[in-house]
Amino acid sequence: MLAFLGRSILLGLITACVVLVAVPSLRPSSPVSLPQLDDAPAPLSFNYAVKRASPAVVNIYNRRYENNESRPEPELITQGLGSGVIMSDKGYIVTNYHVVANADQVIVALQDGRILNAQLIGLDQLTDLAVLKINADHLPVIPVNPEYKAAVGDVVLAIGNPYNLGQTTTFGIISATGRSGMSFYGPQDFLQTDAAINRGNSGGALVNTHGELIGINTASFQQATNIETNGISFAIPYQQTIKIMNKLIADGRVIRGWIGIQGREINPVMARLYDAKQVNGIIVEGMDPNGPASKAGFQKNDIVVEIAGKQVNNVQSVNDIITDIRPGTNVNVKILRDGKPMIIPVKVANRPASENKPIR
């Protein structure tokens, strides 16, 4: 019996060896080596952009005096208000108008720990921008790229001081460009983003993935509407910011041209109704009775197609052209009246401080 069992085992072993030799795929394979951690791709990060831009984003605080019936003297109140961006190594800082408009004293806290008093250079309520100046050496300056054009879908980062928590970075995309009529203070041309911009972020930087400034964040829309705006935030474009900043530095205020018209954009249906062969321009809906346009002979329903040799495309373009013309300048305005072209000379005036309506 044992001899039979031994022969059976021997025969089985011989058979298994023959099968393994004949069929190599049945042999045990060598262990599979796992990829090393060094071979893994680097995680997606915007650290480079934040490192370039964040040192130039400052926290802004104000000190103001408030009268209190229970105290014989005004009470000094210090509070965190918002953010600002260092635009020049000469110490010029851009922030929002509403951040510093009511301040008796402005204090700027840099990310390197320096705390400095700031001088108010100028305010512009219409664009919700203000310029401050600090005196210090070795200031970090925000990177800029004048050739960059913001486009829907671009990734952006908002850097600021929300709720006085300290510097914070949020992430999103450009949701829309050229949003107008969204400002607490009047018409504005905004970048819309879904990056979170909360109270305290006002005046901070909106940058691209290279850390280059593309806009100044503002919470004025939230203040104007007083509603939750999750995923809907706004920034003042860099091009507008730098233009206003230079005017405030030069004059302490923004001197704007004004001709005193109100208008709306023309569309193909309206062009047909007004016997116009083109759709570029605006239709005059009203005029200030004492404004330059009224005195020059403009009439309601005139279609403005060109100002000072520049083509009018829409309401915003009229606003941009007129406000950039120095008051006292004589310009020719091309219009269509009853379908016929006319040239009307107009002397541009200084925009009244009370004017906050679009297209002047």
Catalytic residue set? 98, 128, 202
Any residues with CB less than 8 A from the CB of 42 and at least 6 apart, and which? none
- The secondary structure of the chain, three-state, reads CHHHHHHHHHHHHHHHHHHHHHCHHHCCCCCCCCCCHHHCCCCCCCHHHHHHHHHHEEEEEEEEEECCCCCCCCEEEEEEEEEEEECCCCCEEEECHHHHCCCCEEEEECCCCCEEEEEEEEEECCCCEEEEECCCCCCCCCCECCCCCCCCCCEEEEEECHHHCCCEEEEEEEEEEEEECCCCCCCCEEEEECCCCCCCCCCCEEECCCCCEEEEEECHHHHHHCCCCCCCEEEEEHHHHHHHHHHHHHHCCCCCEECCEEEEECCHHHHHHCCCCCCCCEEEEEECCCCHHHHHCCCCCCEEEEECCEECCCHHHHHHHHHCCCCCCEEEEEEEECCEEEEEEEECEECCCCCCCCCC
Interatomic CA distance for residues 85 and 105, integer angstroms:
18
